[in-house]
Amino acid sequence: MRLRQSLSITSKIKCTIAEKSACAQEHIKITGRNGEEMFTKRLFAYASIALTISIASAAYADEPTAKEEDADQKTAAPNDNPEGKMRPKNKAGEFLKYFNPVHEKTYLNDSQDRIIKKRSFKGTELAGAQAVPNKELGLFANIDLSQLPDDNLLKEILSQPSVNGLSVMVPWASAEPVEGQFEWKQIDHLLDLAGQNKKSVILRVTTCGLTDSDTPKWVFDAGAKSVSFTGANGKTTTMPVFWDTTYLAKWSNFINALGSRYDKNTNLHSVGITGGGVGGGTLVIPNIENKDDHAKLETSLKSEFGMNQRQLVQHWKYVADLFPHAFPTCRLNFDIDPPTANRAGEDSLDEISDYLIYRYGQRVYLTRQNIADAKHGFDQYRVLLKFKPDTITGYRLSPTITSDSLDKLAKFALDDGISFIEVPSQFFTAKDEAVVHTLERLRSKLGYQLVSQNITLPSDLKSGEPLKASFTFLNLGSAPAMRPSRQFDKDVASSYKVQLELRDGSGKPVVQSLHTPQVPTQKWIAGTPVTWEESLKMPKLSPGQYSVYLSLIDADTKRKLQLLDALKPDHLTAQDTIAAGKVQVVE
């Protein structure tokens, strides 16, 4: 009996080997700067050795007793992994993990195992086209903590048409100086300023990295553990041990209070998922220039506070889960840097980002932070490419980036399908013509930039008969238009609907017809016109002339997207409702 079971296991291993061999053909296709194609392949080796060892183990197995067979039957589970919990280690094929260096996952995510292909952005130019200012798109000015009190600076930046909003970080200590007593004035004021200019704010609250101690003193007085290090300014900085239970309890309370106050504030672009790392990001060990000090801090976190990659993954999942519960409406924003700067940290980043997008979808935007040059960080870059069909992605640039690097980065941003970029404020105040041109060119291609190119309507329509119309749209931007469709906890990328509205002679709407384009908007890629015909049901209408207006709309929230109207080539400005023509209704 034991021999038969072992041979069955061996058969499963054969299947696994076949699957891995197939996976070996999957690749990430990357085009180098000189245009040549490069490939990174996943290799699977020594499978035959593993199979031989397994067969040998089976041959020497003893027959089980009736008691052992009964125990096996009692412990058999009908569902392989019903709740997504950590799987037990594979006894018979334990050694296989050494030949396939992929970390264990705590849930099943087969639907997101995909070949990641890089495609260069091939845009289409349209003379006179302007950037479309939809809320989730565009350029956001990074405001330093020292600049926040400067209203004149903030108003100057917000008044610029090329700026879509502000990106700010505030320390937890300033928002909750005493436990349970909140100081919201600074955040309220920022949101009000943005709203007055019809702009929005990307908000991150930090617990380490901005000041000597972003975390309030009362948190440590309550027993939260901490470590200290010498920051870049030469001063001693106190950092909480991010997985300490006392710290997490206090942080959770604060996030709930933050969500209660701001979740439905329409002037928020997104809220950063923070509190699990340094400076509003995922990194749990700060970048300390002195290598000895860095190694000492890392050793302390491991030996005294139990830091390891499995613990960091679980920790970040816990921290990340706090935010969707506190912010069921507002979009969130997650930094896709590895929690530790090594290969193990990169594997952890894979699992954390997989978990977030698999569970929450488009509720969580992904941002590559601290970009200081025009070089791609491979792991962050790969995560952006993997998930751009599922959610909106962005860049956050370092204050040290140069104008030359900014110009080079503009191309990478479009290749990556980026929808928003957080840009250091000095680029909006320097008035450098070359920089202004780069930013405006970049802004006009970020995210989805949709153009209504053509609409064909019948001149006459018999009352009660369907209205037959044809539509042509073009996406000038680097990403498709993904409508978030809430399914349980997850926002799934889906299509916006086309709305045709008929208005009578007095301008009163009498008919609103909705339909989903034959090619859904989440699949409208740059430079490829999308054309389709639709027969739209119409009610009995009184004879007369009706004006027809076109919109792209989220049927659930009634939000209309800003579009460019190419029906009037001399007037390519953004608007949410386009005059499509007139129809004469006859008996």
Assigned token pair, 173? 């200590």
Domain 450-586 architecture: Sandwich (2.60)
Please tell me the predicted confidence (pLDDT) of residue 425: 95
Percent of all residues in the chain with a pLDDT value above 90, rounded to a whole number: 61
* Mean per-residue pLDDT, 308-327: 95
Q: Which residues contact 12 (CB under 8 A, 6 or more apart)?
A: none
Top-confidence residue, 72 or 392 = 392
C-alpha span between 6 and 397 (Å, rounded): 55
| Cβ atoms of residues 413 and 406 within 8 Å | no
- The band of 119, judged by pLDDT with boundaries at 50, 70 and 90, is low
Q: Which residues contact 445 (CB under 8 A, 6 or more apart)?
A: 121, 123, 414, 476, 477, 478, 526
Q: Where are the domains of the chain?
A: 1-74, 138-443, 450-586
Which pLDDT tens digit goes with each residue over 361-401? 999 999 999 898 887 666 777 888 889 999 999 999 999 99
Q: Which residues contact 569 (CB under 8 A, 6 or more apart)?
A: 127, 128
Which pLDDT tens digit goes with each residue over 518-574? 999 999 998 899 999 999 999 999 999 999 999 999 999 999 999 999 887 666 788
- The band of 115, judged by pLDDT with boundaries at 50, 70 and 90, is low
C-alpha span between 245 and 239 (Å, rounded): 15
Is the predicted pLDDT of residue 577 greater than 60, yes or no? yes
Average model confidence (pLDDT) across the chain: 81
Which pLDDT tens digit goes with each residue over 197-250? 999 999 999 999 999 999 999 999 999 999 998 877 778 899 999 999 999 999
C-alpha span between 378 and 85 (Å, rounded): 29
Domain 138-443 architecture: Alpha-Beta Barrel (3.20)
| Cβ atoms of residues 238 and 215 within 8 Å | yes
Is the predicted pLDDT of residue 356 greater than 50, yes or no? yes
pTM over 0.75: yes
Assigned token pair, 552? 């792209």
Phi then psi for 202, rounded to 5 degrees?
-95, 120
Length in residues, the chain = 587
- Whole-number Cα distances in Å, 257 to 269, 297, 434, 441, 580: 18, 32, 44, 40, 46
